[in-house]
């Protein structure tokens, strides 16, 4: 679609962000935000995205959405936050699990917004904005939890839900590296955990290039390593244009 404007939406566990971009990824609107509403069944999430779109005040031709969890073909197979009663790491509600299981969030948003819509995992969308297309590239995002996206020669590989894997002391990467953990133990000890996680993942994934992004990256208190690139938190929005390329 020549000269198309893209509404890029980044759905997080604590906040939702949106911006309208031109066909080269340049913003044509201000970035707008909303706090993620809880409880958050599909209809509540959809209404929040529609509200965000209106807040941009700009026309758009298509929609790109980064969504947390396991998403394939626009279908939600698992999402870690929106199935809880009051936000990340609170009690899971069975009725929300049922509502989100196999929900076609792409079709729901496309109908509500009236524009062609594509949905991928949020880390995968961010990865599209930073990769070079050379070799095996990995993006880890530090946010409400840990996001992960894998690319080989510029091609997106099948989603690996690393966030739910055991990491240490019986807890997952999400539980140990998310915002809640950082606030609980402080930025220095949390940075130690991030470095340990990278050290344990390197011999598993053997990346050519590792990128670290997300809102938590700004809280790192020291460098992670020579071959690790810290990327801005807005990549989860900017990658929305590449999603259509």
Topology classification of domain 6-122: Nucleotidyltransferase; domain 5 (3.30.420)
Q: Using one digit for the tens of pLDDT, what is the confidence trace for 151-208?
A: 999 999 999 899 999 999 999 999 999 999 999 999 999 999 999 999 999 999 999 9
DSSP letters spanning 131-175: --SSSEEEEEEESSSEEEEEEETTEEPPP--GGGSEEETTEEHHH
Is residue 1 pLDDT above 60, yes or no? no
Mean pLDDT score across all residues of the chain: 95
pLDDT at 174: 92
Using 50, 70 and 90 to split pLDDT, how confident is the model at 245?
confident
CB-based contact 20:28 (threshold 8 Å): yes
Query: Do the two domains 6-122 and 124-242 of this chain adopt the same fold?
Result: yes
Residues ≥6 apart with Cβ < 8 Å to 34: 15, 16, 48, 51, 52, 55
Using CA atoms, how far residue 128 sits from 41, 106, 142, in Å, is 28, 19, 16
pLDDT at 2: 58
Pairing of strands 136-142, 146-152: antiparallel
d(CA 57, CA 117): 19
In the chain, where the domains are located:
6-122, 124-242
pLDDT at 79: 95
Tokens 């992004």, residue? 213
Q: Using one digit for the tens of pLDDT, what is the confidence trace for 52-88?
A: 999 999 999 999 999 999 999 999 999 999 999 999 8
Using 50, 70 and 90 to split pLDDT, how confident is the model at 212?
very high
CATH superfamily of 124-242: ATPase, nucleotide binding domain (3.30.420.40)
pTM over cut 0.75: yes
d(CA 25, CA 237): 9
Nearest to 74 by CA among 128, 119, 11: 119
Q: Using one digit for the tens of pLDDT, what is the confidence trace for 32-42?
A: 999 999 999 99
Structure tokens at 8: 């890029």
Pairing of strands 62-67, 70-72: unpaired
d(CA 17, CA 30): 10
């Amino acid at each position: 679609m020549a000269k198309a404007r893209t509404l890029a939406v980044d759905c997080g566990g604590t906040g939702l962000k949106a911006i309208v971009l031109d066909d080269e990824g340049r913003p044509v609107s201000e970035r707008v935000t909303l706090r993620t509403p809880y409880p958050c069944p599909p209809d509540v999430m959809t209404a929040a995205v529609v509200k965000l779109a209106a807040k941009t005040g700009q026309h758009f031709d298509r929609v790109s959405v980064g969504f947390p969890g396991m998403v394939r073909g626009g279908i939600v197979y698992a999402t870690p936050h929106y199935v809880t009663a009051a936000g990340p790491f609170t009690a899971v509600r069975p009725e929300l699990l049922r509502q989100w299981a196999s929900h076609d969030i792409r079709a729901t948003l496309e109908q509500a917004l009236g524009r062609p819509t594509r949905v991928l995992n949020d880390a995968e969308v961010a990865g599209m904005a930073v990769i070079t297309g050379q070799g095996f590239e990995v993006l880890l995002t530090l946010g409400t939890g840990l996001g992960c996206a894998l690319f080989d020669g510029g091609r997106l590989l099948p989603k690996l839900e690393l966030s739910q894997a055991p990491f240490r002391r019986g807890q997952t990467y999400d539980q140990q590296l998310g915002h809640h953990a950082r606030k609980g133990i402080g930025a220095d000890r949390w940075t130690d955990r991030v470095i340990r996680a990278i050290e344990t993942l390197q011999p598993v994934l053997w990346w050519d290039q590792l990128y670290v992004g997300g809102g938590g990256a700004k809280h790192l208190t020291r460098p992670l390593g020579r071959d690790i690139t810290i990327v801005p938190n807005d990549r989860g929005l900017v990658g929305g244009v590449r999603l259509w390329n």
